[in-house]
């Protein structure tokens, strides 16, 4: 497989991942994508109703869906970096074995 075809395949995979991440936000209107943060807030309100947080976040996403998208994008980016590092070190060790 030539280099340009590999590059095209990689970009198509990236586009597919982004589409899969964004599609639920577009097609599932009115759905609630809640997470552990919301459940934790409810539990704190039940245990200690007058609780005041110590500080406010620097950036507050406009909705829970956007917050979920940012969180999942962060997780995907982290997984990509870890996968890249594992592949890089595996390739280097394979090259080292081939030289010997």
Q: What are the pLDDT digits (tens) for 56-99?
A: 888 888 887 888 889 899 999 999 999 999 999 999 998 988 88
Residue 25 lies in a domain: no
Q: How many domains does the chain divide into? A: 1
Residue 82 lies in a domain: yes
Residue 91 lies in a domain: yes
Residue 90 lies in a domain: yes
List % helix, strand, coil for the chain (3-state, nearest 5). 75, 0, 25
Q: Give the range of the structural domain holding residue 85, as residue numbers without chain letter.
A: 33-100
Over residues 38-63, the pLDDT tens digits come to: 788 889 989 988 888 888 888 888 88
Residue 15 lies in a domain: no
Tokens of 27: 């097609």
Enter the pTM of the model: 0.46
- The CA distance from 100 to 97, in Å, is 5
Residue 33 predicted with pLDDT over 70: no
Residue 10 lies in a domain: no
Q: How confident is the model at residue 79, as a pLDDT?
A: 96
Three-state DSSP at 2 gives: coil
């Amino acid at each position: 497989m030539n280099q340009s075809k590999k590059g095209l395949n990689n970009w198509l995979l990236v586009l597919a991942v982004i589409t899969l991440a964004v599609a639920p936000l577009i097609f599932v209107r009115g759905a609630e994508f809640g997470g552990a943060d919301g459940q934790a807030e409810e539990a704190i309100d039940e245990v200690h109703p007058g609780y005041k947080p110590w500080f406010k976040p620097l950036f507050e996403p406009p909705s829970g869906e956007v917050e979920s998208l940012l969180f999942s994008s962060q997780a995907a980016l982290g997984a990509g970096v870890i996968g890249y590092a594992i592949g890089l070190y595996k390739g280097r060790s394979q090259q080292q074995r081939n030289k010997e």
